[in-house]
Amino acid sequence: MTTKHGNSVKAAVAVRKEIIITGFGGQGIVLAGQIVGKAAGLRDRKQSTLTQSYGPEARGGACSAQVIISDQAIHYPYVRKPDILICMSQGGFEKYGGLLGENSILIVDQDLVNPPEARCAAFFSIPATRLAEEMGRKMMANIVMLGFFTAVAGAISTEAARQTVTESVPKGTEELNLAAFNKGYDYGAAVLKGRQKKAEGKKGAL
């Protein structure tokens, strides 16, 4: 775009992320979606929406949370092409994996999801449930996953995520949930660091 004075003006590019978190009832999938949406909307000062769906059984059935984050108004709250797909069950991947695009990020619980080669820009895995079990709280796997997602995807700020986790979990469990978040976050940071070193090594190779 050029102004009448001949100055070039770069058009503002909207920042928008469409995210699906999927798994089965009892894993805290919807809570994870709520935390992502709240962190973006209330802490990072962006627009956000959340929609959720359940399978026939509330616990054990398939469920998902769809979150959209944007710096502009969101007119349609359902995800059509996820930029980020987080899978905590094989069934969730089988249901939503086909929506991945070449620029999408796929994140899975590596002990629960075994995806075939998927079309995406980046693939990350973490043993979220196992790490939560090591802490003595399997039900905090969703918070471990949230920490990992925050580290590798960059869709919400770390501080916003940590504050929202603390405000969203049951009273008396804040410190333990924050520890679960940090465990996932540190795991993600280590994965990114390892990939960076590997990439630098390739550049230096003859």
CATH code of the domain occupying 16-204: 3.40.920.10
pLDDT at residue 7 in the model:
46
User: What's the CA gap between 62 and 107, in Å, rounded?
Assistant: 17
pLDDT per residue as tens digits for the range 136-157: 999 999 999 999 999 999 999 9
Beta strands (DSSP E) in the chain are: 16-24, 47-54, 62-70, 84-87, 105-109, 122-126
User: What's the CA gap between 126 and 188, in Å, rounded?
Assistant: 8
What is the overall mean pLDDT for the chain? 90
pLDDT at residue 202 in the model:
66
pLDDT at residue 46 in the model:
96
pLDDT at residue 62 in the model:
81
pLDDT of 99 higher than 70: yes
pLDDT at residue 5 in the model:
45
* Between 56 and 120, the higher pLDDT residue: 120
- Per the rule left: phi > 0, alpha: psi between -120 and 50, beta: everything else, 202 is alpha
pLDDT per residue as tens digits for the range 18-54: 999 999 988 999 999 999 999 999 999 999 999 988 7
Amino acid at 100: L
pLDDT at residue 56 in the model:
56
**Could you tell me which of 88, 89, 44, 83 has the C-alpha nearest to residue 67?**
83
User: What's the CA gap between 142 and 24, in Å, rounded?
Assistant: 11
